[in-house]
Chains A and B, each alone.
Chain A
Amino acid sequence: MKRKIPLLITFTVGIILIISEFIPHKPFGQLSGELEIWFLIISGFAILLGQLSLFKVNILKIKYKQRDWQFYTITLISFIIMVTLGFLWGTGKSAGMLGQGEVISNILGYKPFDYLFHNIYQHLQATMFSLLAFFIASAAYRAFIGRTVESNLLLVSAVLVMLGNTTLGSLLTGWLPESLNFLHLPKISEFIMTFPTTAGQRAIMIGAGLGIIGSSLRIILGIERSYLGGE
């Protein structure tokens, strides 16, 4: 029964949702949206599990003084501070237990929660995102080292695309006559991005789409049961 009931629910809901894609009439037309709301409600409850997991794992690491345990303390303290401030004075336009906190808001310019969000959290987020620039450089360096025919092709096309997107690229081939305009670097760059790149991406997307159909059918028909934790 532990297996059969979830499989039955999956099969029924899966088939109804497939049918509803082609039937706009009520109640089928609204089913997809309704189930998304159900998912959000269940996710809301599941968030509690996530928070409990976060606490448990971090407290255990602090308790047993694992390596770098101080960092886990910072995580927990930050979590408690943000939750407390949110509860006391709310966030955005919503009030907390102590109201809108006008006095503090006047001093800080924001509510305490929002103040920390805008002045610490967003900067930390931007810092992590900025790392991407350096990682792209290091990854590109490895990718562009010409070792095989494929990597040489990648190197050539990457150089053409990069040059084509800079003013230097326009300058380099700007002297070409009108009849050789197709060799103008920005044109070559545009061609590479519009045709080979898009074609490749679409091929991957078609394959992935078929993969999703196959996986969905396996799950709906009960052939694939790994997500239930069993065979």
Chain B
Amino acid sequence: MTISFSASNDDFAARADRVRVRANWMRRRLLGMIVKAGQGHPGGDLSATDILATLYFDVLRIDPSRPDAADRDRFVMSKGHCTGALYSALAARGFFPEDELDTYLQPESRLNGHPNRVYLPGVETNTGPLGHGFPVAVGIAIAGQIDRADYRVFALTGDGELQEGSMWEAAMLAGHRGLGRLTVIVDRNRLQQGARTEDTNALEPLADKWRAFGWEVVEVDGHDVAALLTAFDAAAEPRDRPRCIIANTAKGHGVSFMRDQAGWHHGVPSAEQYAQAISELEAETGS
């Protein structure tokens, strides 16, 4: 199979650089959205940002002018509370005007705290309660399997979300049916809302669990864009099993005082903290 995404002829390093620039922009933009809205989920947004940037600016074969195209790749945001990251990616990719990000969580905004496909192009299914998006993605992949369609299906789950039983119902079925065009990415930041996953209801040995359910598993540093690109390139190869990418991440990655802190699951930076965060992120770009 030939993957004909736009970046296929780019130099790998150039691809990674381009994704990094987008991810850095997303981090700054989503923090601004959260400050303006006075609420949000910055910790999980920032752990997912590099994964989303890699998907939206390199991997996904999508056309924002045809968000319902039958042959589009599907991306399902199973960890639906991380809309700061999702919306900034969708806007930057052209699904809606970037200015609209300033309406995040405002009355009548299309940018609800959790994504809504009825209002917002680019959203495949409404998520928010955990344990929903990934099983829907499995259903999409089954439709593609029945039709022998070319599109691929990606779902991003939280790691705490894997405590939901419905996730394993879906994982079992995907393994059973050999859904080779399905890739799940686990945002393995090891923190759930209140505490560490391993102190709450331990997930390890996580890779073994997925393998036991019939999945291929790769583990990558979820903030290493080159590693993510390599994993996604491999995921595009024909195969007869679904693939799980366990992306080891940190909540709040990119902002020193937020990194790996459960307290930033929810939370709004003060003006001073926001200025510091932006300054750190700008320093990262060398701008």
Pairing of A with B:
no
Residue positions of B touching A, CB distance < 8 A: none
